[in-house]
């Protein structure tokens, strides 16, 4: 359990947004209950925000301003927004006033006795008002519909992203669990492979369980194999020809993970090597060595 002082140490990094997600959540919970740290956090936020000046200012295109205002208006057109509330209040005000005028001044008979043309004019005005109201409500509905569609598209994208992220996290987790199990097996062996002159920065860890033969290779900084080629792992026991392992390739970042199942014989190997071979693999090594275990 962290103490107040530990949290205090983390605040500056939090203002920079640099804590790990779990740490950030923990600190947020502390901030909610500790006024002193909250004040401290606010002052660090000011310092962090000053970094905005490390970026050169830049002009967005002129259309963006009108685009922004258009979408603000589209939102304002929704019934829940403050603008509409004001309008309905206003129209209520007018209604109240006009009924007052009616009761105070105008006797009802007089207009009824007016000519037919005046009456039809009144009807025409009423009809066009109704028509305008109809159009206005259509525009409102249309805007609202648009805004909702946009919102839905946004939510769908977010959901997709979240699902992709989740799948990826799950894969990582299951690989990590597998590696952990393998490493903690009672008869597991861990070998370090170093890059040869073909790839001096390359390195790899090879873990295998001598009892079950389950094995995993994790390589880094190994250049991706050229087209038609792949890397192949070899198990070498003293006085015997190298035994072939699986072929694999690295990703663009030079990272590779490969699982293999070692035969009884291969489990007695003392040397592990990786060579570059045709992409289907071969039975005896033909290409140059890229990774080699330290001979013990």
| The length of the chain, given as a count of residues | 296
Strands 289-293 and 188-195: antiparallel
Residue of the chain from 26, 40, 75, 178 that contacts another protein (CB under 8 A): 75
Buried b or exposed e, range 193-216, using 16+ CB within 10 angstroms? bebbebbeebbbebbbbbeeebbb
Of positions 5, 33, 50, 110, contacts another protein by CB under 8 A? 50
Distance CA 225, CA 202 (A): 13
With contact defined as beta carbons under 8 Å apart, do 285 and 263 qualify?
no
Stretch that binds another protein, among 73-81, 97-105, 130-138, 286-294 (CB under 8 A): 73-81
The contacts of residue 262 (CB under 8 Å, 6+ apart) are: 208, 213, 214, 215, 235, 245, 269
Task: Report how many residues bind another protein under the rule CB under 8 A.
Answer: 49
Contact map string, positions 138 to 167, toward another protein, x by CB under 8 A: -----------------------x--xx--
Smaller CB separation from another protein, 73 or 90:
73
Burial 231-267 (b: 16+ CB within 10 A, else e): bbbbbbeeeeebbbbebbebeeeeebebebebeeebb
Q: Does 82 bind another protein (CB under 8 A)?
A: yes
Q: Any contact of residue 3 with another protein (CB under 8 A)?
A: no
**Nearer to another protein (CB atom), residue 213 or residue 224:** 224
Task: Verify binding: residue 34, another protein, rule CB under 8 A.
Answer: no
Residue 65 contacts another protein per CB under 8 A: yes
Shortest CB 266 distance to another protein, Å? 33
Of residues 147, 104, 276, 126, the one with CA closest to residue 199: 276
- Here the tokens at position 61 are 């295109």
Report, in Å, the least distance between residue 102 CB and another protein: 33
Site stretch for another protein (CB under 8 A), options 82-90, 126-134, 183-191, 235-243: 82-90
Binding site for another protein (CB under 8 A): 9, 12-13, 15-20, 38, 42-61, 64-65, 67-69, 71-73, 75-76, 81-83, 86, 161, 164-165, 168, 252
């Amino acid at each position: 359990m962290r103490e107040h002082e530990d949290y205090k140490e983390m605040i500056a990094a939090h203002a920079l947004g640099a804590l790990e997600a779990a740490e950030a959540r923990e600190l947020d919970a502390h901030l909610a209950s500790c006024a002193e740290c909250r004040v401290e956090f606010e002052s660090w936020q000011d310092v962090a925000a000053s970094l905005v000046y490390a970026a050169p200012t830049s002009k967005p295109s002129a259309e963006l301003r009108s685009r922004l205002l258009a979408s603000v208006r589209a939102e304002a057109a929704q019934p829940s927004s403050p603008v509409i509330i004001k309008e309905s209040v206003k129209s209520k005000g007018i209604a109240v006033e006009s009924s007052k005028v009616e009761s105070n001044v105008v006797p009802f008979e007089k207009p009824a006795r007016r000519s037919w043309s005046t009456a039809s004019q009144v009807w025409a005005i009423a009809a066009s008002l109704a028509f305008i109201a109809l159009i206005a409500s259509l525009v409102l509905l249309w805007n609202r519909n648009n805004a909702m569609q946009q919102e839905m598209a946004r939510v769908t994208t977010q959901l997709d992203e979240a699902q992709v992220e989740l799948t990826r996290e799950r894969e990582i987790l299951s690989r990590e669990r597998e590696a952990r199990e393998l490493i903690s097996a009672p008869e597991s062996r861990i070998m370090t492979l170093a890059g040869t002159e073909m790839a001096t920065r390359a390195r790899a860890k090879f873990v295998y369980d001598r009892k079950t033969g389950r094995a995993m290779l994790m390589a880094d900084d190994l250049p991706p194999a050229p087209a038609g080629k792949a890397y192949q792992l070899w198990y070498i026991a003293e006085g015997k020809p190298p035994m072939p392992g699986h072929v694999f390739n690295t990703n663009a970042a030079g990272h590779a993970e490969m699982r293999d199942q070692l035969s009884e014989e291969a489990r007695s190997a003392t040397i592990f090597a990786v060579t570059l071979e045709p992409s289907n693999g071969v039975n005896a090594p033909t290409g140059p060595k890229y990774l080699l275990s330290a001979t013990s």
